[in-house]
Amino acid sequence: MADYPQPPTPLFSGIPLKNEGRKGCIRQPGPIETSDGDSRQFQRIRLQSGADFLLVRDPHADRASVATTVGVGYYSDGDTPGIAQAVGEALFHRNEKYPELNAFRKYITKYAGTLNTNTVETTTTLSFDIDAKFKDGPPPIYTAIKIVESVARAIDSKHKERAPLDSARVMQVQKSRSNTDHPWSKFSGGTYDTLKPEACGKTTCDKMAALHQKYYTLSRMKTVILSPEPLENMENNIAELFSDLEEGEDLSNHWEGKSPLRSQDLMTWIFVTALQGLESVEFEFPVPDETGSFEFQPSKYLQYIIEDRGPESIFSSLREKGWVTEVFASMKLSCPGSKGIFACRLLLTETGRDQWKDVVTKFISDLAISQQESLLETIFDDIRAIEDIKFRQSHKVSSIEFTHRISSRMHIMPPGWVVSGYKCRRFDLNQLQEFWDCLRLDNCRVTVISPHLKCDHTEKWYGAKYSYGKMLPDLLAKINSSRAAAISDVRLLRPNRCLPITPTFKVLETKSQANVVKDILNDGIIRCWCEPKYKELKASLFVCLRNPVLYTSARYTAWAVLYSAIVEDRLREALSDAHRLGLVSSLYAHHTGIVIQIYGYNELLLGSLEIVLRVLRVLQDIEIDERQFARVKKRTVDPYRCVEAGLPCTHAIWLAKWLTGDSHSDCELTDELESIMASDIRQFCPFFFGQMHIQLFAYGNVVNKDVIEFADLIKATLKPRGLPKTQWSLIRSPILPSGTYVYRKALHPDIINSSIEYLVFLGEGEVAHAKTLLLSQMLKEPAFRRLVMEAKLGHKIDTDPLMAKTAYYCRIAVEGGESPEYMEGHIRDFLTRHAGEIAGMSTKEFEEIRSASVAKCVKQPDNTRLESIRRWTEILDESLDFNKRVVVNEILALKKEDILGFYNHSILSPNSATLIIKLASQHPAKGVMRPEPHWPEIPYIEIKDVRRYRSQMPLSRCLERPISEFVEQSPLENILSSSL
């Protein structure tokens, strides 16, 4: 660590340091580089046993979090794929500190926490957060493992979940055709067969215990603890809890002198048959290892060049030919000590798919031209300035995400840079030249992915169909002869027009004068809301163009979806410079109309809104380019086409929202989207823009004058005719009648797992909302314990409630290898037995769960961007409960007797209203079949005619709340004379 370069001292912030230790706890010198306005305090600690800790005090944090990254990943699986992942999973299931099954998860749930494990190439990260101080002793990862069979089944379920994903299938094909002496060629997951316990689990258990003993040592662990507690208190706890643990052997995690792609793997092609409609071409280039390049990363420079969306860029050149919809570039593999892989991926149109050889030729030629034009330090200066601005004004992430990220970095980064991470700090032309020289045809492997390819090989783990071979001589000759023709298409990357930028605070009043939602303008055409934020440099702007006719039919909805996508496509080039500076802009179709979102520095906001509105206006008067339309249409339709071939749980939630609401199904939207022509968009514009009501919400570094300026610009550009409130669509939901309704569907033939959504209607209104949230918290841990750990239904279970517009459902969703009928029986059995657990709860246990539910409900978003989205959702849905005051009061008023009676009446009663969605795999449950218990039969109402099913559903009451209860209203005449 002492040999690492250190950044200039003025960039650091920290606390005074001491050299003396406490109980073997030694403070490490050197402060931490942090962003502007970061009020957190940092202290690095090393125990005499060799354990490294980073203590973080965040006085504003409402959650404490711990993350430990261990220096072992699937590269160390040996001859047992999935063993490293299994160790990480098992430690959260059962260990010496929490010997009872699922006891640690129960502890986490008790304090409204979350936990996560993640195993990658060389590391495994285990993290959790809780709404309490960490005082319960060492995390379970430091204690010995106790194997349970459910771990093997959970990992097998994850494998089956990934099996239909094109990204996983393609990656595994590429791995299988790589250097077998390099660990990257290993299978990155595991299955039940590779982990199946033998002779009472002794073989697998012994392997897991051996891996745990060998790698889970303090010298291979980096731990981050974040808490609102003072650093002194955390340091005392660390010294007391960990000082007696042994260091262990420090094993090397480097693979010196090995390359993931051998010479025989280069100048080759791979064809892979896609399942989910993916059509792309990917280029893989072996490049020098940059894991130790902390001050300059050539891959970032190259990514900046290749992903540029401006005029005369590589992307623009390919897009104008109608070949690609997206271009991505990034480091695909970074392996300490060995070469990495830099990958470029091009998403193809149908024309690009048919002419993939021309796409390959053009892209390789454009790379060569860009290399000649773009080796300039001025481009690096732009990259450095953009990264510096983004980092210095970066918003906070969640506690668990922060600790997870930093503990991973502690394995590779200099101690002072673990927070700031990899940044371009100095320009190195030689390093860049060496890296870019690798991006050539004779150092490349090309992979073409399409569902239309016929292939003759089958990959072992996911069953992907593929072919491979050497590049054809005619393609090589074509590429070599085409470089001169590419000169006219690609030019030197121009400087970013949005630089320099100097963000300034506009909201200078005290906190009590800001941070309040205000209804500042309502003139019948537009309604404006504003919430200024004290000491915030960025702002969010939301605009809803309300027109209820959009959702009267699937075709009108498809029009809105496709029109929004066309506008977004045009904005990518128009706002490309602002996007590089962190501006986020999007358009999407909502059930009330079309929504515009813009987020970024205040200096960019007005100009960006003006560009968005100009594009909206221009599209009303011009012909849509056919090539652009075909490109955008394919990119828009593909996700709808692929719903049925995607994850079963995702497919099930689509169906749940369709069957409990008034939306259109993915099949209906797919059919309509495919039938729309470019000329139809011209008809849509006057139809939509003729009459509307506009809602505007500004949040962050804005004052009322800004909001009025935004409103004037919108009205002047769009010139809308107002939509009276009596014509607005009512926000309400269908109510599920009494009975048990079942919707069945067979999954795509390549989907291995089955899925079930078990929904019970709980009611409408604030009281039902509160009971639903509390009940969800009650079910969370017991459902995981009973259905995953004991019944072994799979790894994925979700008990988050389904919140329709104004109706609320208890929800248990499971995905696994068993049949939906088997999973349903276990769910019903669990719900029946859980009534007894509720009845047996002590008052203290109930109050702890209620407190956890309240804490989860009122938990503040991790940053102002997320907070603005939550505020905007409240405005769009007209609930206006910005601080969750209404629902929290209702939760606090609930007693155990209320919930027990509600549970018996709404869930266990013969008159309850239940909807069960069963998505059945066409594959038998290999290796996990067990005798089904005998559950009592219940009469089902089969949903075969959705129209008839919906005709029986009454509608809920419309949610109407007086605005004065939730916001501060300001008279229009006082707005412009005030700074707020």
DSSP code per residue over 555-619: HHHHHHHHHHHHHHHHHHHHTHHHHHTT-EEEEEEETTEEEEEEEEEHHHHHHHHHHHHHHHHHT
Domain ranges of the chain: 9-242, 263-398+410-488, 518-727, 739-951
Q: CATH assignment of 9-242?
A: 3.30.830.10
pLDDT at 14: 33
Grouping H, G, I as helix, E, B as strand and the rest as coil, residue 974 is helix
At residue 871's C-alpha, the angle toward residues 869 and 877, to 5°, is 100
Residues 6+ apart with CB under 8 A from 203: 197
Q: Per the CATH hierarchy, to which homologous superfamily does domain 263-398+410-488 belong?
A: Metalloenzyme, LuxS/M16 peptidase-like (3.30.830.10)
980 vs 330 pLDDT, higher one: 330
Instruction: Tell me which of 70-74, 94-98, 274-278 is least confident.
Output: 94-98
At residue 69's C-alpha, the angle toward residues 65 and 74, to 5°, is 135
pLDDT at 198: 66
760 backbone φψ class: left, alpha, beta (φ>0; ψ -120 to 50): beta
Residues 6+ apart with CB under 8 A from 892: 850, 854
Q: How many CA atoms lie within 13 A of 791 on its CB side?
A: 29
- Give this prediction's pTM: 0.86
Peptide bond into 31 cis (omega under 30): no
* Angle of helix 83-93 versus helix 103-110 axis, rounded to 10: 60
pLDDT at 144: 63
Mean pLDDT score, 917-925? 87
Is the per-residue pLDDT at 168 higher than 80?
Answer: yes
Instruction: Tell me which of 18-32, 392-406, 423-437, 619-633 is least confident.
Output: 18-32
Is the per-residue pLDDT at 975 higher than 70?
Answer: no
* Angle of helix 377-392 versus helix 298-306 axis, rounded to 10: 100
pLDDT at 551: 82
By the 8 A CB rule, do 279 and 451 touch? yes
Continuous segment of H or E residues that includes residue 798: strand 796-798
> What is the DSSP annotation of 400-449?
HHHHHHHHHHTTTS-GGGTTT-S---S--HHHHHHHHTT-SGGG-EEEEE
518-727 and 263-398+410-488 share a CATH fold? yes
In the block, residue with structure tokens 């073997």: 24
* Pairwise CA distance, residues 243 & 246, whole Å: 8
pLDDT at 641: 85
Per-residue confidence band for 146, with pLDDT thresholds at 50, 70 and 90: low
What value does the mean pLDDT of the chain take? 84
Mean pLDDT score, 658-668? 87
Grouping H, G, I as helix, E, B as strand and the rest as coil, residue 6 is coil
- Taking CA atoms, 236 is separated from 43, 45, 221, 430, in Å, by 13, 11, 19, 48
Is the per-residue pLDDT at 926 higher than 80?
Answer: no
* Pairwise CA distance, residues 718 & 756, whole Å: 46
> What is the DSSP annotation of 668-722?
HHHHHHHH--HHHHHHHHHHHHTEEEEEEEEEES--HHHHHHHHHHHHHHH-PEE
CATH for the 518-727 domain, from 3.30.565.10, 1.10.3660.10, 3.30.830.10, 2.30.30.100? 3.30.830.10
Is the per-residue pLDDT at 8 higher than 80?
Answer: no
Sheet holding 52-57, edge to edge: 25-27, 41-47, 52-57, 221-227, 64-70, 124-130, 114-119
- Taking CA atoms, 394 is separated from 420, 538, 750, 850, in Å, by 10, 10, 42, 34
By the 8 A CB rule, do 777 and 838 touch? no
φ, ψ at 940 (rounded to 5°): -100, 150
- Locate 671 and state its tokens: 């059919």
pLDDT at 490: 66
Instruction: Tell me which of 415-419, 449-453, 484-488, 529-533 is least confident.
Output: 484-488
* Pairwise CA distance, residues 351 & 204, whole Å: 50
Per-residue confidence band for 643, with pLDDT thresholds at 50, 70 and 90: confident
By the 8 A CB rule, do 125 and 117 touch? yes
Q: Which residues of 667-696 are buried (b: 16+ CB within 10 A; e: fewer)?
A: ebbbebbeebebebbbebbeebbeebbbbb
931 vs 321 pLDDT, higher one: 321
> What is the DSSP annotation of 896-950?
HHHHHHHHIIIIISTT-EEEEEEEE-SS--TTT--PPP-PPP---EE---HHHHH
- Locate 411 and state its tokens: 């394995």
pLDDT at 61: 84
* Pairwise CA distance, residues 978 & 646, whole Å: 53
DSSP 8-class letter at 728: S
- Locate 606 and state its tokens: 């007005």
The string of pLDDT tens digits covering residues 96-110 is 777 777 788 888 888
* Pairwise CA distance, residues 802 & 757, whole Å: 10
DSSP 8-class letter at 68: E
* Pairwise CA distance, residues 650 & 639, whole Å: 12
Per-residue confidence band for 980, with pLDDT thresholds at 50, 70 and 90: very low
Is the per-residue pLDDT at 443 higher than 90?
Answer: yes
794 vs 303 pLDDT, higher one: 303
In the block, residue with structure tokens 């316990």: 197
| Domain spanning 739-951, CATH architecture | 2-Layer Sandwich (3.30)
pLDDT at 481: 67
* Pairwise CA distance, residues 332 & 167, whole Å: 12
* Pairwise CA distance, residues 530 & 697, whole Å: 6
Percentage of the chain lying above the pLDDT 90 cut: 41
Per-residue confidence band for 3, with pLDDT thresholds at 50, 70 and 90: very low
Grouping H, G, I as helix, E, B as strand and the rest as coil, residue 98 is coil
Percentage of the chain lying above the pLDDT 70 cut: 87
pLDDT at 9: 30
| Closest among 459, 272, 253 to 356, alpha carbons compared | 272
pLDDT at 1: 34
139 vs 911 pLDDT, higher one: 911
296 backbone φψ class: left, alpha, beta (φ>0; ψ -120 to 50): beta
- Bridge partners (DSSP) of residue 590 are 593
pLDDT at 143: 63
In the block, residue with structure tokens 């690095």: 44
Question: With helix as H, strand as E and coil as C, how does 11-54 read?
Answer: HEECCCCCCCCECCEEECCCCEECCCCCCCEEEEEEECCCCEEE
* Pairwise CA distance, residues 415 & 480, whole Å: 47
Q: Which amino acid is at 632?
A: V
The string of pLDDT tens digits covering residues 469-526 is 998 777 777 766 665 554 556 666 778 888 877 776 666 555 545 567 888 888 889 9
The string of pLDDT tens digits covering residues 715-740 is 998 888 899 988 888 888 899 999 99
* Pairwise CA distance, residues 823 & 813, whole Å: 10
pLDDT at 891: 93
* Pairwise CA distance, residues 667 & 661, whole Å: 16
Per-residue confidence band for 251, with pLDDT thresholds at 50, 70 and 90: low
617 backbone φψ class: left, alpha, beta (φ>0; ψ -120 to 50): alpha
* Pairwise CA distance, residues 573 & 760, whole Å: 47
The string of pLDDT tens digits covering residues 351-384 is 999 999 999 999 998 888 887 766 678 888 889 9
